[in-house]
């Protein structure tokens, strides 16, 4: 059984796909051509609750970048702040009290906008690294769009055009002269790094947002909670996958924890999973496999680092699991399949 394709099928909110189509159309491409490429309709793009296979989104990036001869399409799109791009989550961010609160809400309700990756915050002294951890082998367009979009959002929400991170990191190589990136971020930009991330001063995360609205934010959050509860019953696999992906870097959630997040008893959670012909251990194993392949393909991280990100207690345990998944070792996978050391 190909567990990764069965259980881990990354999706993205229709709002985000519509935003990309709109952006490409503004740059001169025909909307109908883009939609026909991936078999989507306008009605689907306008469905606020629809999650679309992320491969459709990536296909639009590939087609549009080729037609426009623009290798920086994701980077350029990310510079345009559009809260509606993320639907309800965008509105929650817009009305939050601070950048930090907006990011926390994004983390909490991530599954409503898809499971193509997860935000991760690592605090170190007066700085915080805000990473985006992809759940699939994403293009440079996607990672540049998300990281650039984080800064564009911070600048727009605080009305501080000079807001800049301390450093920026991308796991891929540069698609233009480094100065092009540094000019926008106004800080050092590093490529072929261990992760995609912004490093921000903690003080910036506490800056008040210019459209903060406590009462409206409360209503929007309550609505998001309601939608998340509905999703737990109608699409429990999506919620489970998202929860596991965003928690693995910190710890391996057990079934009790996942059931609690779904507001279900352990027995009810098991029953839900059995309806999909699987178990929690199988889902966890499939997610770890897909993330392992993603990390090894997309980053130069050490095998030990990847092992730790996936919650293995020892590197040897990860090595055994990887051999079971692929019949090879992580290092050999890089050397033979990808030509990486």
Q: Which CATH number is 289's domain given?
A: 1.10.10.60
Whether residue 136 is found in the same domain as residue 90: yes
Please, what is the end-to-end C-alpha distance for the chain in angstroms? 29
**Number of structural domains found in the chain:** 2
Tell me which residue range forms the domain holding 43.
3-205
What contacts 85, CB < 8 A, 6 or more positions away? 15, 16, 19, 149
Whether residue 163 is found in the same domain as residue 271: no
- pLDDT, position 139: 94
Whether residue 11 is found in the same domain as residue 111: yes
Show the DSSP H helices in the chain as ranges: 3-7, 14-26, 31-38, 42-45, 54-68, 73-78, 87-95, 99-108, 140-158, 178-185, 202-205, 214-234, 236-247, 255-261, 266-275, 280-298, 303-309, 315-326, 330-332
Residue 178 located in a structural domain: yes
Q: What letter does residue 114 receive in the DSSP assignment? A: B
Residue 231 located in a structural domain: no
Residue 187 located in a structural domain: yes
String of DSSP letters for 289-309: HHHHHHHHHH----HHHHHHH
- pLDDT, position 7: 53
Residue 226 located in a structural domain: no
- pLDDT, position 109: 86
CB 287 within 8 A of CB 244: yes
CB 53 within 8 A of CB 152: no
The domain boundary residue, chosen from 205, 227, 254: 205
* Bridging pattern class, strands 189-190 and 167-169: parallel
Residue 218 located in a structural domain: no
Residue 221 located in a structural domain: no
Q: Which H helix or E strand runs over 133?
A: strand 127-134
Residue 292 located in a structural domain: yes
CB 79 within 8 A of CB 38: no
Whether residue 184 is found in the same domain as residue 243: no
What is the full per-residue pLDDT of the chain (341 aa) written as tens digits? 333 344 567 889 899 999 999 999 999 999 999 999 899 999 999 998 888 999 999 999 999 999 999 999 999 999 998 877 778 888 999 999 999 999 888 888 888 888 788 777 888 899 999 988 887 889 999 999 999 999 999 999 999 998 999 999 998 999 999 999 999 999 999 998 888 999 999 999 999 999 999 999 999 999 999 988 888 778 788 788 888 888 887 889 999 999 998 888 999 989 988 988 899 999 999 989 988 988 887 766 788 888 988 999 899 999 999 999 999 999 999 887 666 54
What contacts 58, CB < 8 A, 6 or more positions away? 138, 139, 141, 142
- CATH code at position 194: 3.90.1520.10
Residue 18 located in a structural domain: yes
Of 284, 292, 279, 243, the residue nearest 263 (C-alpha)? 243
The domain boundary residue, chosen from 205, 222, 252: 205
Whole-angstrom distance, CA of residue 240 vs CA of residue 36? 32
Whether residue 44 is found in the same domain as residue 177: yes
Whether residue 59 is found in the same domain as residue 187: yes
Whole-angstrom distance, CA of residue 23 vs CA of residue 79? 11
Calculate the alpha carbon distances from 142 to 16, 60, 232, 238, 330 in Å. Answer: 11, 11, 27, 20, 25
- pLDDT, position 73: 98
């Amino acid at each position: 059984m190909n567990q990764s394709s069965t259980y881990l099928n990354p999706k993205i909110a229709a709002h985000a796909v519509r935003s990309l189509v709109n952006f490409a159309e503004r740059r001169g491409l025909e909307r109908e051509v883009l939609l026909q490429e991936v078999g989507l309709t306008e009605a689907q793009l306008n469905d606020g609750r629809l999650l679309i296979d992320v491969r459709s989104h990536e296909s639009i990036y590939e087609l549009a970048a080729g037609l426009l001869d623009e290798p920086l399409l994701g980077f350029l799109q990310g510079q345009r702040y559009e809260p509606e791009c993320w639907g309800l989550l965008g509105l929650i961010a817009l009305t939050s009290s601070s950048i930090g609160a907006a990011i926390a809400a994004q983390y909490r309700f991530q599954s409503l906008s898809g499971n193509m990756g997860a935000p991760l915050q690592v605090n170190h002294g007066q700085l915080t690294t805000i990473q985006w951890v992809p759940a699939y082998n994403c293009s440079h367009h996607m990672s540049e769009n998300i990281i650039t979009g984080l800064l564009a959002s911070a600048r727009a929400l605080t009305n501080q055009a000079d807001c800049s991170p301390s450093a920026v990191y991308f796991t891929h190589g540069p698609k233009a002269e480094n100065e092009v990136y540094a000019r926008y971020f106004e800080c050092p930009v590093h490529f072929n790094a261990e992760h995609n991330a912004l490093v921000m001063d903690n003080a910036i995360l506490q800056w008040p947002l210019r459209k903060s609205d406590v009462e409206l934010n409360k209503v929007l959050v309550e609505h998001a909670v309601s939608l998340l509860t509905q999703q737990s019953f109608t699409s429990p696999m999506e919620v489970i996958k998202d929860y596991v992906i965003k928690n693995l870097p910190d710890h391996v959630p057990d079934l009790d924890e996942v059931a609690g997040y779904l507001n279900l008893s352990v027995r009810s959670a098991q029953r839900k999973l059995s309806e999909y012909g699987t178990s929690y251990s199988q889902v966890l194993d499939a997610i770890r496999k897909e993330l392992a392949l993603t990390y090894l393909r997309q980053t130069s991280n050490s095998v030990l680092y990847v092992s730790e990100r996936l919650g293995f207690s020892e590197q040897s345990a990860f090595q055994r699991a990887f051999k079971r998944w692929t019949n090879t070792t992580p290092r050999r996978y890089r050397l033979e399949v990808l030509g990486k050391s």
